[in-house]
Amino acid sequence: MAAIKKKRLKVFTFVLLLVSLTSFFLNYAHTTATYTWFPKQMVMHFSEHFKRFMKYPQRPCSCSQCISETGFAPWFDERFNHTMQPLLNRQNAFLENDTYTWWMKLQRERTPKRLNETFMDLFSIIPGDVDPLLQKGPLICRRCAVVGNSGNLKESHYGKDIDSHDFVLRMNRAPTAGFEVDVGRKTTHHLVYPESFRELAGNVSMILVPFKTMDLQWLISALTKGTINFTYVPVPRKIHVNREKILIYHPAFIKYVFDSWLQAHGRYPSTGILSVILSLHICDKVDLYGFGADSKGNWHHYWENNPSAGAFRKTGVHDGDFESNVTSTLASLNKIRIFKGR
């Protein structure tokens, strides 16, 4: 009996050590910086990580702080719903009546057609499985950079920091070529809608943000026959995207962002805030770059030569100030970090 107990103790100790070591190296493997590790430093770092693991064995991630942890900030807890699924797949491809009605009004689509059939057609040409992007866990510390398009990225030299993250999310027409020093060269996920589409590298996942049924129909068309080349403005007739890398932002998640996070401010959320709230659900640590005005108060894109530009902020459909307040509050609660550049 004593021998059996001793054997079980050894097995338990080995498993616990293996789990802790795996968690430790996953937590620190994301950094691209080069450090000189001495035995004493490694022991200290491992010791701290081991203590956190033992103290919080049910924590949702292995970071020192996890975004999805609740019970510390009522403002966050009231808004964050961990059950919401940000991406559309075969299993969740349906809309409740209130969501359907709200979504159809976003672009004032007068004659919506065949939504269920559109979902079926869509998942006949792109994967419809639950995306691995959503598979978080207690042994993972997933670091994500959400890169906006603000001119405050100019001369920021954030490129290396941005590229050090596990996931790098960008949006709309944002280029990287020629701006790598400030905005980085790495992109893992790029959010677009038909009117803001840009060609992407083959290893980049495209996340389509559908504001209307035609957006989904356009994607089907652009991957097959190319029959749609106009929505309310001209859009690409055909696109060259790896079908295995196409994801769809769930319309119900758009409404969740609008209702819970924006408190119905504006007509619908901007791609920027949709990217931020998406990151809260798929990442354990989030850093924001390229959001807000530059140091002189100008609103413009970092690739524009005219720093006084910024008509995009006055579209009338987004409440930029309220969205900025949301991100600022998240930062004040240590849920995200905001890098303001220049």
The mean per-residue pLDDT over the stretch 172-186 comes to 97
Lowest mean pLDDT among 52-56, 275-279, 301-305: 52-56
88 in a domain, yes or no? yes
134-162 confidence digits (pLDDT tens): 777 888 999 999 999 999 999 999 999 99
Q: Is the overall model pTM greater than 0.85, yes or no?
A: no
210 in a domain, yes or no? yes
Both 138 and 202 in one domain: the answer is yes
The mean per-residue pLDDT over the stretch 75-85 comes to 97
Annotation says 56 is catalytic: no
205 in a domain, yes or no? yes
Whole-number pLDDT of residue 30: 39
Alpha-carbon span 59 to 65, nearest angstrom: 9
Alpha-carbon span 327 to 313, nearest angstrom: 16
* Angular region, 80: left φ>0, alpha ψ -120 to 50, beta rest: beta
Q: Which two tokens stand for residue 70?
A: 């609740």
Whole-number pLDDT of residue 40: 52
Identify the CATH number of the domain in which residue 270 sits: 3.90.1480.20
Lowest mean pLDDT among 131-140, 161-170, 273-282: 131-140
Alpha-carbon span 165 to 167, nearest angstrom: 5
68 in a domain, yes or no? no
The answer to whether the beta carbons of residues 174 and 158 sit under 8 Å apart is no
Share of the chain above pLDDT 90, in %: 67
Q: Which domain holds residue 8?
A: 2-55
The model's confidence at residue 295, banded by pLDDT at 50, 70 and 90, is confident
- Which of 158, 193, 268, 289 does the annotation list as catalytic? 268
Whole-number pLDDT of residue 57: 52
**More confident: 102 or 21:** 102
127 in a domain, yes or no? yes
Report whether pLDDT(72) > 70. yes
Nearest C-alpha neighbor of 292 from the set 144, 143, 147: 147
Enumerate the known binding-site residues for substrate.
Answer: 107, 149, 172, 232, 268, 272, 292, 301, 318
Enumerate the known binding-site residues.
Answer: 107, 149, 172, 232, 268, 272, 292, 301, 318
The mean per-residue pLDDT over the stretch 240-247 comes to 94
- Hey, how many other C-beta atoms are within 10 angstroms of the C-beta on 188? 17
Alpha-carbon span 156 to 159, nearest angstrom: 8
297-322 confidence digits (pLDDT tens): 888 899 988 766 655 555 578 899 99
Domain count, the chain: 2
69 in a domain, yes or no? no
Both 32 and 175 in one domain: the answer is no
Annotation says 249 is catalytic: no
